[in-house]
Amino acid sequence: MDLTEAQCQEFRDRGWIVVGDVFEPHEVELLSNAALKVLERPGPEVGREIDGSPHVSWGMHLFDKRLAALCRHEDLINPSRTLLSNEVYVHQSRINMKQTNGSIVAWHQDFGTYHRVDGVPEPNGVMIAVFLDDVTEVNAPLLAVPGSHKEGLVSTASLDPTSADFEQVSKYRYDITDETMAQLVNQYGLETITASAGSVLFMDMTVVHGSSVNISPLRRLLLYVNVCPVDNRGETYERPEYYAARDFSSIVPVSSEEFQVAGQT
Ligand SMILES: O=C(O)CCC(=O)C(=O)O
């Protein structure tokens, strides 16, 4: 799969595009099973809700062969190369499961942390999300400010040690202030990103986004793969590898056929 010029233009203008039907239902099931297994890990790579249930797992490609193959899948990597006009490496991957009555994800830019904590120099990278559940208005979809990537790094952002899940999930998240959010939404608006299972979102990693609590009984499981051009590498090595890449080599894409058999051994 590669992108049309219209899709590339939409990505540049709005900050994201959604491509439907990238993964077949049986692939969605394989990926969901792999993700749920990784979420059972007891280690610090899993961030939990207040009640102890898993919410996020960072570095999924380090812990599961199928998820590692996903992070190199041609249908993720080739469009990213096109959007970034360069070879790419995976800066961070993660599993994000929003269960009923779990926590919110406050407004932030992924690049905010990657720049301030990991030392990624330029606001240049793609946040890819693979939808493993149908996401509609009712199960806490991603909310995002279209065009906000044009602002670069939003400067009025800070860590929030008072946030309920600070130790578990939001320790490195630079939350954007209410005042800045109001200005951004006034200027650009705010949209929901809904898609069916098997779809893929490609979003500029500087887009301001977040999500609210999922009060529905419907699970919302997404896999994130954040890629950067190979000449835009993290320079601090401050966080463990499950948060921030150590391997900056160009990804060699895995074909759909190779992906089918990945993780069987
Ligand atoms: O899936 C979500 O609701 C947002 C996840 C996110 O932005 C993050 O983990 O940084």
Mean pLDDT of 202-210: 97
Domains of the chain, first to last: 5-231 (2.60.120.620)
Position in ligand 1 atom list of the atom nearest CA 173: 10
Q: Where residue 226 falls among pLDDT bands split at 50, 70, 90?
A: very high
Q: Is 142 in the pocket of ligand 1 (CB under 6 A)?
A: yes
Q: Separation of 108 CA from ligand 1 center, angstroms?
A: 9
Q: Where residue 262 falls among pLDDT bands split at 50, 70, 90?
A: confident
Under 8 Å CB-to-CB from 57, ≥6 apart: which residues?
A: 35, 38, 39, 41, 45, 46, 47, 63, 94, 95
User: pTM of the predicted model, to two decimals?
Assistant: 0.95
Q: Is 211 in the pocket of ligand 1 (CB under 6 A)?
A: yes
Cβ contact 113:86 at 8 Å? no
Position in ligand 1 atom list of the atom nearest CA 169: 9
Q: Separation of 133 CA from ligand 1 center, angstroms?
A: 15
How many whole angstroms from its chain centre is CA 188?
22
Six-digit token pair at 242? 């499950």
What would the pLDDT profile of 6-55 be if each residue is shown by its tens digit? 999 999 999 999 999 999 999 999 999 999 999 999 999 999 988 889 99
Task: Give pLDDT, residue 175.
Answer: 86
What would the pLDDT profile of 40-96 be if each residue is shown by its tens digit? 999 999 999 888 899 999 999 999 999 999 999 999 999 999 999 999 999 999 999
- Measured between alpha carbons, how far is 200 from 132 in angstroms, rounded to an integer? 9
